[in-house]
Structure 1
Amino acid sequence: MVVGSGPNGLAAALVLAAAGLEVEVYEASGTPGGGMRTEELTLPGFKHDVCSAVHPMGLASPFFRAFDLERHGVEWLHPQVAYAHPLDGGHAGLAWTDLERTAEGLGADGAAWRRLLGPLVERWRGVVGAAMSDLRHPPGDPAGAARLAVRLAEQGTPLWRFRFRGRVAPAMLAGLGAHAIAPLHRPASAGAGLLLGALAHAVGWPLPRGGSAAITAAMVRALRARGGRIITGHRVRSLAELPRARAILLDVTPAGLLEMAGDLLPEGYARALRRFRHGGAACKVDFALSGPVPWTAPGCDLAGTLHLIGDEVEASAAERRVAAGRHAARPYVLAVQPCVVDDGRAPQGHHVLWTYAHVPQGSSRDVSEAVIAQVERFAPGFRDLIVARRAVPAAELAAGNPNHVGGDIAGGAMTAWQMLMRPVPRWDPYRTPLPGVYLCSSSTPPGPGVHGMCGLHAASRALRQRFGVRADPLRLVRSLRETH
């Protein structure tokens, strides 16, 4: 039994089904996918991603490389510019897939950008393998892991200040690190930024045609082809509700596990789960537009993703305020414009804009006006294009996805300790004290993102410990191509 059909729940189900087991997945929502859903949130014909929108890990993570989404019907669309970081004054940092072209655009800082990210791009598979591991075993590519560690020791400490001379490159790195919704220049945010930055030049930041739901549909088809079942519209509130099974994998947060099995858990383990902290949050704002966003800086119109915050100083201050439980007057806004590559996401001539603004944990504030102001700052006239908008404050995100506690879309605070030791300090972070019960959500290593690796790691342990199956889980995933 698998509870939760987000990317990790579906990944776990696919590994188990590929091993020949009978698998059932229970999903609280009426449709599978968790954060990988696409819906008409504003007006008919405007297709918005509910949570995840851009998917470098769909090409880079070991799980998805083995699964091969393209073989299962997903069409990847690559913006010419992976991400852009506009600055006041009408110019922007542009991250082209081509590392050299990106470096050329950074002028005097181009060589420093190349030295920072070039070695990670060269060994990107080893870098991803280290970052996407269970964080308990030696990396498969020690050289790639070492390159990441050396740069993490720089970018995650005050040493980051000594690499660049201009404003654009530090702003671009700040925009990357802020994806962690955590203070910048700390190990967790720096690690996220380095990984995302390297992938922009290694595989790009692609979008699936039709939206993130295309990834869900591919995984669901493969699961059903192996006999798996998905029961939607059924929120599991107690493990006692589930039929008897030799293994139960839960794509839920520690709070979800406590709700389902609190009375059954040993007090020490339950106490450790209660200490698990949730971090900064997001207010989601979607826009239906009558035309493309009128960015002032050249090149922003080619970008799939934009980081709207200003320079590194402003970004650092905004993320510190959020971490301290206060709203930033000018919040960090992550924006995605899917219609740059996918004109089927809106009626002819129209566009959609997907945005998240960083806010404190549990915030009930609708920050739509602050988001509009940040877009207007770099694209005057944006407000006049808005046909409709829909905002979901952080405090309401959990109503659509119980894993987004207080608006935390990362499955837990992104701190160095909690990244390594989530959800509790144990050698096997997936196995709970209850026989046959495992956690497989982003509250386990390697943490947030649409990569499926939390599910793969948990499923491999369930196979070995409950069924005596020691097969390589990635080999099992590759076998799913044959079914397709």
Structure 2
Amino acid sequence: MGFAANGAGYDPPVERADAIVIGAGHNGLVAANLLADAGWDVQVLEATPHPGGAVRSGYVTAPGYLSDLFSSFYPLGFASPVLHGLELGAHGLEWTHAPDVLTHLLPDGRAATVNRDLATSMASMEQFAAGDGERWKQAYDDWCDVSADMLKVLFTPFPPVRSGLGLARRLRVGGSLRLARRLVLSVRELGTELFRGEGAQLALAGCALHTDLSPEEAGGGVYGWLLAMLGQQYGWPVPVGGAQRITSALVDRLLERGGRIDYETPVSRVLVGGGKAMGVRSADGRNWRACRAVIADVPAPALYLDLVGERWLPPRLVEDLAFFRWDGATVKVDWALDGKVPWKNPAAAGAGTVHLGADLDGLTRFSAHLATDSMPPHPFLLLGQMTTADASHSPEGTESVWAYTHLPHRARWEAEEIEAHVARMEAVLEEHAPGFGRMVAGRNVFSPAELEAENPSLVGGALGGGTAAAFQQLFLRPIPGLGRADTPVDRLFLASASAHPGGGVHGAPGANAARAALTRHRFLTGRAYRAVIDAAHAVVYP
């Protein structure tokens, strides 16, 4: 019996699996592994020649210099119960740390450093204001009181009932209200409430600007607090041998369990019959039958508008997708240096990650340029010293280093604009590390368009699968009413960073999608589960 794609009949597909996973990014691979663990026959279809999405490494600057091409440094991945549960160490994944977690360099040359040793971090923050060392410890103690439950809330489907209740029992009413207030503060407000000096305030604010939020935006404080405190608790580690080791471990684990991956096989359509996802059609015209589920590790607009189509969607959902907000664009530069970065302030030499180019007001000015669609004349840089973190990235005594900065999200960039901005980035580096340019043995630039060409999910150079702003989080992600992996199409599940809890290499969207698919398939409870999902969607999309 055939089924319809946009109303057209066709012969039954030749290829079959219990689950078809669209995309071999890390979330797709996590979902595929969990379904394979449950005994499902899993087929992954990847549009590009490589697995991993934004979790890849390569030699792009000079011979012998390994670069993490997109993402790097993984506090969320290291802390993630999802990745931990997959036991990727048995498949070659090994973590390592730089001597220092991160350093924020101020324009005046001072440095605020976070180290996994709490006393070292406290001493750094104390230099900026008397008592800030103890205040840093108090902020960390506050984090430790809630971290286990907070991470469960972050990495489980919305609403996180069990972990949320555990957090409420621990904090009681007063503590819960204080935490709720902290979660909606901007990072400027949170930093100035917790600390007196610039150092600790900037440690939080620089972390918050790993997202697309400005220092003044509501909800930015929680990102700064989360990343800074994860750094204090776990560090910001990297895989020995590069980011690719995460992907390789996920691929090897899946193949060992009988899963299959076809590369250079882009999906052009999700095939729907009777309101159910029945499979997919690849761009080469082949049909792939999904007997139990289709899992999509692609951005939400691409899934709903391009692969499913409006026919199978509630009209209000299509209307709401017009207001889906991408996060900002990115330009990333990798350099091969024939020596170590010549920092003016040696405090930056041991940091895996360095934030530089702005104090707190400078971060606000930088964000204002992005908000008004203009190029920041003095960009804020997030920089990674890869050889400092993992000696295998380049020859002894050298450094494989990268930096990226945010840009406004635009449909098109001219090559001259990107090159001019790279020059601004290198000027910032020269301010803090005179002679940097003379040490460059090789360079690679990824413009927003080139990032998307390498990984189609990085639309316009956006790294997070959609903005981190509060209006597009929790039950509002990717749009109001779709806070879970379930979609209005039965047996179709969203597993990308566009789904709750969003960007970062932690695997939660993939795990949530796999769990939802497994629950939907259960003989006794699956129909009741879908009835509840349909009823919830009917309320939002009547």
TM-score w.r.t. structure 1 length?
0.92
The CA deviation at 1:275 is 2.3
- Is the deviation greater in 178-187 or in 15-24? 178-187
Partner of 1:248 in structure 2? 294
Q: Aligned partners of 1:470 and 1:166: how far apart in 2?
A: 55
The CA deviation at 1:161 is 2.8
The CA deviation at 1:188 is 3.6
Deviation string 1:231-273 (CA, Å, 9 cap, x unpaired) is 1111112224141102101001122112112144323322322
Verify: 1:270 aligned to 2:312, yes or no. no
Partner of 1:372 in structure 2? 426
Q: Aligned partners of 1:469 and 1:236: how far apart in 2?
A: 32
The CA deviation at 1:122 is 4.5
- The one-letter amino acid paired with 1:303 is A
Verify: 1:260 aligned to 2:307, yes or no. yes
Are the equivalent residues in 1 in contact too, given 2:88–2:249 (CA < 8 A)?
Answer: yes
TM-score w.r.t. structure 2 length?
0.83
Deviation string 1:350-405 (CA, Å, 9 cap, x unpaired) is 32112111111126231211111121121111111111111122233211111111
Q: Aligned partners of 1:160 and 1:351: how far apart in 2?
A: 33
Are the equivalent residues in 2 in contact too, given 1:319–1:332 (CA < 8 A)?
Answer: no
Are the equivalent residues in 1 in contact too, given 2:491–2:517 (CA < 8 A)?
Answer: yes
1:247 counterpart SS class: strand
What is the aligned counterpart of 2:143 among 112, 117, 120?
Answer: 120
Partner of 1:455 in structure 2? 510
- How do 1:187-198 residues align onto structure 2 when only pairs under 5 Å count? 187-198=218-229
Deviation string 1:117-165 (CA, Å, 9 cap, x unpaired) is 3221354222222233333233513147947535324455746434322
Verify: 1:111 aligned to 2:166, yes or no. no
Deviation string 1:186-235 (CA, Å, 9 cap, x unpaired) is 34422211111111011110011111000001111111111001111111
- The one-letter amino acid paired with 1:32 is P
Partner of 1:296 in structure 2? 344
Deviation string 1:73-120 (CA, Å, 9 cap, x unpaired) is 211111121111112333210100122320122112212222223221
Closer, same or farther: CA 117–309 of 1 in aligned 2, 3 Å: farther
Partner of 1:479 in structure 2? none
- Cα RMSD, aligned residues only: 2.1
- The one-letter amino acid paired with 1:259 is D
What is the aligned counterpart of 1:339 among 384, 387, 399?
Answer: 387
1:184 counterpart SS class: coil
Are the equivalent residues in 2 in contact too, given 1:168–1:311 (CA < 8 A)?
Answer: no
Closer, same or farther: CA 335–66 of 1 in aligned 2, 3 Å: same
Indicate the structure whose relative CO is greater, using CA pairs within 8 Å and at least 6 residues apart: 1
User: Gapped runs of 5+ residues in structure 1?
Assistant: 472-484
What is the aligned counterpart of 1:206 among 237, 249, 263?
Answer: 237
Q: Aligned partners of 1:264 and 1:221: how far apart in 2?
A: 38
What is the aligned counterpart of 1:413 among 454, 467, 473?
Answer: 467
- The one-letter amino acid paired with 1:105 is S
Q: Aligned partners of 1:464 and 1:233: how far apart in 2?
A: 31
Q: Aligned partners of 1:202 and 1:209: how far apart in 2?
A: 20
Partner of 2:400 in structure 1? 352
Are the equivalent residues in 1 in contact too, given 2:158–2:484 (CA < 8 A)?
Answer: no
Q: Aligned partners of 1:466 and 1:323: how far apart in 2?
A: 44
2:353 counterpart SS class: strand
1:237 counterpart SS class: strand
Partner of 1:184 in structure 2? 215
Verify: 1:323 aligned to 2:371, yes or no. yes
Closer, same or farther: CA 307–139 of 1 in aligned 2, 3 Å: farther
Q: Aligned partners of 2:510 and 2:525: how far apart in 1?
A: 16
What is the aligned counterpart of 1:439 among 494, 512, 521?
Answer: 494
Verify: 1:35 aligned to 2:54, yes or no. yes
What is the aligned counterpart of 1:46 among 59, 65, 68?
Answer: 65
Structure of greater Rg: 2
Partner of 1:216 in structure 2? 247
Q: Aligned partners of 1:193 and 1:61: how far apart in 2?
A: 18
The CA deviation at 1:467 is 4.2
Q: Aligned partners of 2:340 and 2:515: how far apart in 1?
A: 45
Q: Aligned partners of 1:428 and 1:414: how far apart in 2?
A: 14
Partner of 2:24 in structure 1? 5
Partner of 2:256 in structure 1? 225
- The one-letter amino acid paired with 2:32 is A
Q: Aligned partners of 1:361 and 1:16: how far apart in 2?
A: 35
Closer, same or farther: CA 148–39 of 1 in aligned 2, 3 Å: farther
Q: Aligned partners of 1:185 and 1:116: how far apart in 2?
A: 20
Partner of 1:174 in structure 2? 205
Verify: 1:16 aligned to 2:35, yes or no. yes
- Is the deviation greater in 454-463 or in 71-80? 71-80
Closer, same or farther: CA 345–427 of 1 in aligned 2, 3 Å: closer
2:210 counterpart SS class: helix
- The one-letter amino acid paired with 1:119 is D
Verify: 1:287 aligned to 2:335, yes or no. yes
Q: Aligned partners of 2:107 and 2:76: how far apart in 1?
A: 31
Partner of 2:478 in structure 1? 423
Q: Aligned partners of 1:148 and 1:16: how far apart in 2?
A: 35
Identity of aligned residues (%): 34
- Is the deviation greater in 460-469 or in 93-102? 460-469
- The one-letter amino acid paired with 1:289 is L
Q: Aligned partners of 2:61 and 2:524: how far apart in 1?
A: 47
2:441 counterpart SS class: strand
